[in-house]
Amino acid sequence: MGETGKSRRSGKELALDGKILEKVKAFRLSEKIEKLTEKILYDEEIQAMQEYANNVSIVRLKFNDHGPVHMRTVAHNALIMMDLIRRAGVKTSLEAEETGSFEDSLSAVLCGALLHDLGMAIGRQDHELHSAYLAHPILDRVLRDVYKTDYQKITIIRSLALEAIAGHMGNRSIYSLEAGIVQVADGCDMKKGRARIPLAIAGSPRVGDIHQYSANSIEELSIGPGKEKPISIRVNMSSEVGLFQVEEVLLNKIAAGTAKSYIELYAVLNDGAPKRYL
């Protein structure tokens, strides 16, 4: 990574870079996925696209964070969930179909998560589809650099990553577990810090503010092993308005995806009794 790229990254971004790389290395897979991870995290073009997408989202649209911190957070959430399903013996779609390995699935999830909101640079409407065509040439470039002439692997990882990107909003059908993991990982980035900037710059109440105020009541979200299912998602909130974020955003994404049968979802208000949704 060049010095320009280093100096432009925030402390949160650098911390998340470290967490993502550490998590990828902990899987003890091949050096190729580590190389792929570093290339995506430190690519100057990707960084510029992520930053501009965030500028459009926050400054122009007065929406919440959809930039480099958010995309890294989604990637980290997805890596945690991939680790949990692996430990539970759940096969990914590529493994079940015998068309690829767990490492291939992990590579696709990582690529999809880190590129899924590039389309916010164009606008909110259909941004997931804009993200897919903006990500396509980047995936080609990065995957060819890592996998050279292994066109089958490049095709599989690229296609799966694009499915995850195009399907992350939960408003169109997805068919792989890998895409479902990215969809849920995206919905899990709902802590109040993500809404702080747009709340600060908003001049007056407007349509859509409920998302920001709801997110601002989310104190903590944790992802860990479940009691009955591989994954448990627990959302701690300071106000009942946070239930909007859980029920209208996260729950809808889980219900619309392919990972639903592997997830337990709980909401906790002011350290009260957990409310279980799934």
CATH code of residue 190: 1.10.1300
Residue, of 2 and 270, whose pLDDT is higher? 270
pLDDT at position 190: 87
pTM: 0.91
- HSE-CB at 148 with a 13 A cutoff on CA atoms is 1
pLDDT at position 138: 98
* pLDDT band, very low/low/confident/very high, at 242 (cuts 50, 70, 90): confident
pLDDT at position 37: 98
3-state DSSP assignment of residue 39: helix
Average the pLDDT over each of 57-71, 85-99, 118-132, 263-277 and give the range with the smallest value.
57-71
pLDDT at position 257: 95
* pLDDT band, very low/low/confident/very high, at 245 (cuts 50, 70, 90): confident
* pLDDT band, very low/low/confident/very high, at 11 (cuts 50, 70, 90): very high
* 181, pLDDT greater than 80: yes
To the nearest 10°, the Cα dihedral for 36, 38, 39, 41?
120
Q: Report the domain count for the chain.
A: 1
Q: What is the pLDDT of residues 30-68, one digit of tens each?
A: 999 999 999 999 999 999 999 999 999 999 988 888 899
Q: Where are the beta strands (DSSP E) in the chain?
A: 218-224, 231-237, 263-269, 275-276
* 139, pLDDT greater than 90: yes
* 207, pLDDT greater than 70: no
Highest mean pLDDT among 12-26, 61-75, 181-195, 244-258: 12-26
3-state DSSP assignment of residue 240: coil
Which among 103, 102, 132, 127 has a CA at the least distance from the CA of 115? 132
Average pLDDT over residues 145-151: 98
* 160, pLDDT greater than 60: yes
* 213, pLDDT greater than 80: no
Q: What is the pLDDT of residues 115-125, one digit of tens each?
A: 999 999 999 99
pLDDT at position 201: 45
pLDDT at position 2: 45
For 55, other C-beta atoms within 10 Å of its C-beta total: 15
What is the domain extent for residue 245?
A: 3-276
Residue, of 226 and 216, whose pLDDT is higher? 226
3-state DSSP assignment of residue 246: helix
Mean pLDDT computed over every residue of the chain: 91
Q: Which residues contact 195 (CB under 8 A, 6 or more apart)?
A: 64, 65, 211, 212, 213, 215, 216
